[in-house]
Amino acid sequence: MLYIVPTPVGNLEDMTFRAIEVLKSVDLILAEDTRTSSVLLKRFGIETRMESHHKFNEHSRVESVCRRLVEGQNIALISDAGTPAISDPGFLLVRTAIECGVEVSTLPGPTAFVPALVNSGFPTDRFVFEGFLPVKKGRQTKLAKLAEQDMTMIFYESPYRLAKTLSQMAQVMGGERRCSVSREISKLHEETRRGALSELASWYSEHEPKGEIVFIVEGKGNEGKKKSGEEEE
């Protein structure tokens, strides 16, 4: 069995009882960064052996990991924070395990974009997760396509690029398009700031953000649309 185990995105108390039980019971834990994960494992008394599994070695190791699974080992995959394979390593291992006939069990748990989406106040009945935008090649083309998107859009971004990204979006989508920026979700300095793209671009140009960033942009034509679950008149 291959277990995909989400870990807290901030507060370690968000760890689930089942996640702890699985990590204690498997033969091996694959961790994005063993040094980061050792803090988590120590906190919950998990002594299972760890090996590194990250974006730089995933392709070279996936076959050997799957051989262990086929031979009968139970292995858990964790990332530094959140759910593996969501903007983190994991997709390739899951796909290869399935192709090898290995059962995969993904535990429910922390994912940064879900609380950010709900906190935004934008419609949640239809949304699209875009993750990180292209840094250079294809960026403007991507933004032009996203400008026509009518669903709520979810993005991850580096704090060092946030102001520039919001400014570019304001130019392409219109400065009045609404946005919600969530920072340090589940951590001590968690905050969410809402406003127009142009306003937030100016704010973060003057107040450089720190920490993990998730930002939400309303879809085209959704100005004033009621939140998911509310009945139309």
- Render 40-65 in DSSP notation, one character per residue: HHHHTT----EEE--TTTHHHHHHHH
Q: For residue 200, tell me if it sits in a domain.
A: yes
Q: For residue 50, tell me if it sits in a domain.
A: yes
User: 3-state DSSP call for residue 25?
Assistant: helix
At residue 230, the pLDDT reads 46
Q: Could you tell me if 208 and 146 are in contact, meaning their C-beta atoms sit under 8 angstroms apart?
A: no
Q: Are residues 83 and 122 in the same domain?
A: no
Q: Could you tell me if 66 and 100 are in contact, meaning their C-beta atoms sit under 8 angstroms apart?
A: yes
**CATH code for the domain of 170:** 3.30.950.10
Q: Which tokens in the block code for residue 134?
A: 């292209």
Q: Are residues 145 and 63 in the same domain?
A: no
At residue 87, the pLDDT reads 87
Q: Are residues 92 and 149 in the same domain?
A: no
Structure pTM? Answer: 0.87
**CATH code for the domain of 23:** 3.40.1010.10
Q: Are residues 175 and 190 in the same domain?
A: yes
At residue 223, the pLDDT reads 62
Q: For residue 67, tell me if it sits in a domain.
A: yes
Span 25-42, average pLDDT: 96
**Given pLDDT bands bounded at 50, 70 and 90, which one contains residue 82?**
very high
At residue 229, the pLDDT reads 44
Q: For residue 224, tell me if it sits in a domain.
A: no
Domain stop point among 86, 106, 126: 106
| pLDDT tens digits, one per residue of 127-145 | 999 999 998 889 999 999 9
| pLDDT tens digits, one per residue of 160-207 | 999 999 999 999 999 999 999 999 999 999 999 999 999 999 999 999
Q: For residue 230, tell me if it sits in a domain.
A: no
The domain in which residue 134 lies consists of 113-217
| pLDDT tens digits, one per residue of 43-65 | 999 999 999 999 898 899 999 99
How many structural domains comprise the chain?
Answer: 2
Q: Are residues 95 and 154 in the same domain?
A: no
Domain stop point among 58, 76, 106: 106
Q: For residue 175, tell me if it sits in a domain.
A: yes
